[in-house]
Structure 1
Amino acid sequence: MSGIIGRKIGMTSVYGADGRNVACTVIEAGPCVITQVKNEESDGYNAVQLAYGERKEKRTPQALLGHFKKADTTPKSKVVEFRDFRLEFEGGIELGKEVSVQDVFEEGDFLDVKGVSKGKGFQGVVKRHGFGGVGQATHGQHNRLRAPGSIGAASYPARVFKGMKMAGQTGNKSVKVTNLKVMKILADENLILVSGSVPGAKNSYLILEK
């Protein structure tokens, strides 16, 4: 699976081939550095490790400093492994080589984007799960408008089942959005525009998979 690491910039819109205005997310994708190459003989599978984003040397563990030094690159902040990277079978994989967005994607391709959704803290069932509340608020339900209501029986099973839709932390989870179309690639600025929205806040890291 080919891919690249990127950073969410924001949203805009472009006109597609059919003349329709399409909402797009702007992602700064790469350039990434190949920091490790795995193969069947030594590791049991084919994979390429990419690194992206600058990191201060004094804030980098010694083990990682040595790892990046092998690839002859500066310390990076985000490291991701991609199995069965496409360029490996074309002879284009070398330790320390840079991978740019145009090396992996072309305009019109479809890709998946993985990121961490925005954290919204501890939320109730109305915001977290879309519960409707009491609605008409009859029969004296003055303080139960956004409450979850009954969650189960009493003496049996005498516990709360796992997976019950209740209040709790909302967001801050790994989310993947699939089949987004590549609307435009600005190779000079390492930017890729994909249709629709992607998880995460601005400047958050994203993983783009083909």
Structure 2
Amino acid sequence: MMNTFFVYKINSGAVFGDQGRRQTVTYLKAGPLTVKRTMPNIIVCELPRKQLKELKAPNPADFKPGDKIKAADILQAGDLVKVSGLSKGRGFAGVMKRYGFHGVGGRTHGQSDRQRHPGSIGMRTTPGRLWKGKRMAGHYGVETMTIKNLKVVSFDETTNILTVAGTVPGSRNGLLTLTKI
């Protein structure tokens, strides 16, 4: 059977567990996927918002166009999942926000304008250039992030709302790939 499903992020919240502990959860909309066509090892599904996505299937012959794939067939409360999606975009960010640099020196000792700068970025004549991958200011966010070992807290089959313990990447209404571990 398949172990991957596409969901939309609704929002985050908190629930109280059996022992009265507060737990951060994320609510996900796991609407049924409609099979559009099958190919060797892949099925093409239509999401509730009219998007087409491909899913790897161990046995695509089990599906035919028009079939509905429900999250309840794949997931149940207590399962461990990994969630992948695009992180929120933060635009052009400096090294302090992007990488957590501490800035150059202190606020005193002649440092009048260097508080948020990266400091020295290279060496001398040798190598005479910057190393590849040097951490500098630039575009931050909009990267594929994967959060592993999240527990499915509950699943409501009437509303197709899935509750996962913890936070997941992306903004509200963002598309996520949920894979059962």
Match of 1:53 in 2: 48
SS in 2 for 1:95: coil
1:18 Cα deviation after fit: 4.1
Match of 2:170 in 1: 200
TM-score of the aligned structures, taking structure 2 as reference length? 0.90
1:137-167: CA deviation from partner (whole Å, max 9, x where unpaired): 2321010000000011132212211111110
SS in 1 for 2:97: helix
Match of 2:92 in 1: 122
**Correspondence 1:154 to 2:149:** no
Q: How does 1:19-38 map to 2 (within 5 A)?
A: 19-38=20-39
Q: Is the 8 A contact 1:37 1:48 kept in 2?
A: yes
CA distance, structure 2, for counterparts of residue 149 and residue 134 of structure 1: 6
CA distance, structure 1, for counterparts of residue 107 and residue 115 of structure 2: 7
Higher helix share: 1
Structure 1: any 5+ residue segments left out of the alignment? 40-45, 55-75
**Correspondence 1:83 to 2:56:** yes
CA distance, structure 2, for counterparts of residue 21 and residue 94 of structure 1: 43
SS in 2 for 1:188: coil
CA distance, structure 2, for counterparts of residue 154 and residue 185 of structure 1: 59
Q: Is the 8 A contact 1:4 1:30 kept in 2?
A: no
Match of 1:112 in 2: 82
SS in 1 for 2:48: strand
TM-score of the aligned structures, taking structure 1 as reference length? 0.79
How large is the RMSD of aligned CA atoms in angstroms?
Answer: 1.8
Match of 1:64 in 2: none
CA distance, structure 2, for counterparts of residue 194 and residue 145 of structure 1: 40
Q: How does 1:159-174 map to 2 (within 5 A)?
A: 159-174=129-144
